[in-house]
């Protein structure tokens, strides 16, 4: 096996939770080969940039970061690797246009990193081959960033081909992790004291394990039956494949959080049609009704795109009215960005930038009002919070998440990281709640037979 004991590495992660989990996977591969973690790019001998290609802006982040790395490389030896979705998408072009990049490697190839480092790079050809199966050996090495909350990838890729979306080109077609491997992971995490598990996949609802005869609701049932992690979440769901069986599995589970991220993208059925989303506004609203009937008070969040090709003022107005009607606890909103190879890129990007900007500002202003109202209704209540760290603005204040995935900043006499805390909410802004810890829940005993 390659020995990388001379190498201090640093991973810079852009993009979604899947990329965060993949960076833990990369760290596992490098650590197993003897690599050491560096605290920053400046103090490392190898920088791996794990990249996102979902919008042009995400990709630009890589190029400006690479500019910085190139400067560092001029003054000292530095190995530069580009991993993740831009590596997969741009492949050989990345090597050709930026010869100072030593390694270009897609998500299915991370197990080969040590061998490439020993050989001095990928040279002219990016490593972007797809593999059909799961590399469980490599996943077992994964080094987790948090001792409290764990990501567990259950599937990868997407077969939906939403017309705007690059993901089928960066992550390939759907493939599923065997159920027994998922459950074994949950058991290990339970034994080592993890309090929260987040199942990940580009389209988790499509999950299936043919051999085990299991679909996504079975996975939820089986995972929730494992004693330990009190909170289970999952993302991302697709409204098209989000059916009553999943709602029922969520509702009957002790551990599945009353929280769901369900991307709407647009409130206009016509735009949804052009996006190839496979549901109408009415379909989506019916799913929301089903969720709220089964789980009153459930926190819902969503993604919105404004300025999709051909989006009229009227169609945009339907997105605004859907937001007002549904009242999401949180949204992520974006200006449409044409991506190479997608079918929407051939429709023409006809909405002027200033119109997109104005629509985005309108969406965000409306949501700010809605969120402020929701958050205000928590003032005076005591809620359960999982402590995750310290507030970014004020390190004397702790930070955590509610079951609804709201950010809660709070004062506490003891360190609450990794603990469930009852927090009395004293004030609220549009993006977070503030409060005071009233009581810590006791920690469950950790199993003595666990050897990390
Ligand atoms: N332009 C703008 N936003 C996009 N998203 C995905 N592709 C694009 C694009 N081409 C948004 C969607 C998706 C989220 C992760 O990013 O809202 O749900
Ligand atoms: Fe970005 Fe999508 Fe890749 Fe995640 S899967 S890093 S959101 S392009």
Contact 148, 158 (CB under 8 A): no
Q: What is the dihedral of CA 50, 56, 62, 64, to 10 degrees?
A: -170
Ligand nearest to the CA of 238: 1
Contact 23, 31 (CB under 8 A): no
Q: Which atom of ligand 2 is nearest to the CA of 50?
A: 6
Q: How many CB atoms lie within 10 A of CB 139?
A: 18
Query: Atom 5 (ligand 2): residue with closest C-alpha?
Result: 167
Q: What is the pLDDT of residue 1?
A: 59
- Indicate if ligand 1 lies below 6 Å from the C-beta of 339: yes
* Radius of gyration of the chain from its Cα atoms, rounded to whole angstroms: 22
Per-10-residue mean pLDDT of the chain, 452 residues long, equals 83 96 96 95 96 97 97 93 97 94 96 92 87 84 92 96 96 95 96 95 96 97 94 97 97 95 98 98 98 97 98 98 98 98 96 98 98 97 96 89 97 94 97 96 62 38
How far, in Å, CA of 376 to CA of 3, rounded? Answer: 55
Task: Write the CA distances from 269 to 30, 51, 122, 217, 240, integer angstroms.
Answer: 47, 32, 46, 28, 13
59 Cα–ligand 1 center, Å: 13
Ligand nearest to the CA of 236: 1
411 Cα–ligand 2 center, Å: 35
Beta bridge partners of 104: 82
- What CATH number is given for 8-127 in this structure? 3.40.50.12160
- Indicate if ligand 2 lies below 6 Å from the C-beta of 171: yes
Q: What is the dihedral of CA 430, 433, 434, 438, to 10 degrees?
A: 170
- Helix/strand number for the chain, H first, E second: 14, 20
- Give the domain ranges of the chain: 8-127, 382-440
Fold category of 382-440 in CATH? OB fold (Dihydrolipoamide Acetyltransferase, E2P) (2.40.50)
Of 14, 305, 335, which is best to mutate to test ligand 1, by the most ligand atoms within 8 angstroms of its C-beta?
305
54 Cα–ligand 2 center, Å: 6
- Indicate if ligand 1 lies below 6 Å from the C-beta of 266: no
305 Cα–ligand 1 center, Å: 6
Ligand nearest to the CA of 13: 2
166 Cα–ligand 2 center, Å: 8
86 Cα–ligand 2 center, Å: 9
Q: What is the pLDDT of residue 445?
A: 63
Q: Which atom of ligand 2 is nearest to the CA of 54?
A: 8
Q: How many CB atoms lie within 10 A of CB 449?
A: 6
- Indicate if ligand 1 lies below 6 Å from the C-beta of 337: yes
How far, in Å, CA of 12 to CA of 27, rounded? Answer: 11
Ligand nearest to the CA of 345: 1
Q: What is the pLDDT of residue 134?
A: 83
- Indicate if ligand 1 lies below 6 Å from the C-beta of 55: yes
How far, in Å, CA of 419 to CA of 401, rounded? Answer: 11
Q: Which atom of ligand 1 is nearest to the CA of 304?
A: 17
Query: Residue ranges of the alpha helices (H) in 7-78?
Result: 17-32, 56-75
Contact 85, 54 (CB under 8 A): yes
Of 14, 15, 18, 55, which is best to mutate to test ligand 1, by the most ligand atoms within 8 angstroms of its C-beta?
55
Q: What is the pLDDT of residue 452?
A: 36
- Indicate if ligand 1 lies below 6 Å from the C-beta of 371: no
270 Cα–ligand 1 center, Å: 18
Q: What is the pLDDT of residue 135?
A: 84
Helix (H, G, I), strand (E, B) or coil at 257: coil
The C-alpha angle with vertex 103 and arms to 100 and 104, in degrees rounded to 5, equals 105
């Amino acid at each position: 096996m390659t020995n990388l004991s001379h190498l201090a590495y640093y991973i810079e992660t852009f993009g979604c939770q899947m990329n965060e989990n993949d960076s833990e996977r990369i760290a596992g591969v490098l650590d197993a080969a003897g690599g050491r973690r560096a605290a920053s790019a400046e103090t490392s001998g190898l920088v791996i940039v794990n990249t996102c290609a979902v919008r042009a802006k995400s990709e630009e982040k890589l190029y400006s970061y690479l500019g910085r790395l190139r400067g560092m490389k001029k003054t000292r030896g530095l190995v530069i690797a580009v991993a993740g979705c831009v590596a997969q998408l741009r492949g050989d072009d990345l090597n050709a246009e930026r010869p100072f990049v030593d390694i270009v490697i897609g998500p299915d190839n991370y197990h080969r990193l040590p061998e490439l480092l020993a050989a001095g790079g990928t040279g002219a050809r990016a490593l972007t081959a797809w593999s059909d199966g799961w590399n469980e050996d490599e996943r077992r090495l994964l080094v987790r960033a948090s001792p409290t909350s764990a990501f567990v990838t259950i599937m990868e890729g997407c077969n939906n081909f939403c017309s705007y979306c690059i993901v089928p080109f960066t992550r390939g077609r759907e493939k599923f992790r065997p159920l027994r491997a998922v459950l074994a992971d949950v058991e290990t995490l339970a034994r080592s004291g993890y309090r929260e598990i987040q199942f990940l996949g580009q389209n988790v609802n499509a999950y299936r394990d043919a051999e085990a005869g299991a679909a996504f609701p079975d996975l939820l049932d089986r995972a929730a039956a494992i004693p330990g992690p009190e909170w289970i979440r999952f993302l991302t769901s697709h409204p098209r494949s989000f059916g009553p069986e999943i709602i029922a599995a969520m509702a009957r589970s002790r551990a599945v959080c009353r929280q769901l991220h369900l991307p709407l993208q647009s409130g206009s059925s016509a735009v949804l049609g052009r996006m190839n989303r496979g549901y109408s506004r009415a379909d989506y609203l019916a799913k929301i009704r089903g969720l709220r009937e089964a789980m009153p008070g459930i926190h819902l969040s969503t993604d919105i795109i404004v300025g999709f090709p051909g989006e009229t003022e009227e169609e945009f107005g339907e997105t605004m009215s859907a937001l007002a009607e549904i009242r999401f606890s949180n949204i992520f909103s974006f200006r449409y960005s044409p991506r190479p190879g997608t079918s929407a890129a051939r429709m023409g990007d006809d909405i002027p930038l200033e119109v997109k900007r104005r629509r985005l500002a309108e969406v965000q202003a409306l949501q700010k009002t809605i969120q402020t109202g929701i958050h205000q209704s928590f003032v005076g209540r005591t809620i359960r919070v999982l402590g995750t760290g310290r507030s970014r603005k004020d390190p004397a204040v702790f930070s955590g998440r509610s079951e609804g995935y709201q950010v809660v900043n709070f004062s506490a006499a003891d360190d609450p990281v990794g603990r469930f805390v009852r927090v009395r909410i004293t004030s609220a802004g549009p993006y977070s709640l503030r409060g005071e810890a009233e009581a810590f829940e006791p920690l469950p005993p950790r199993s003595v037979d666990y050897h990390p």
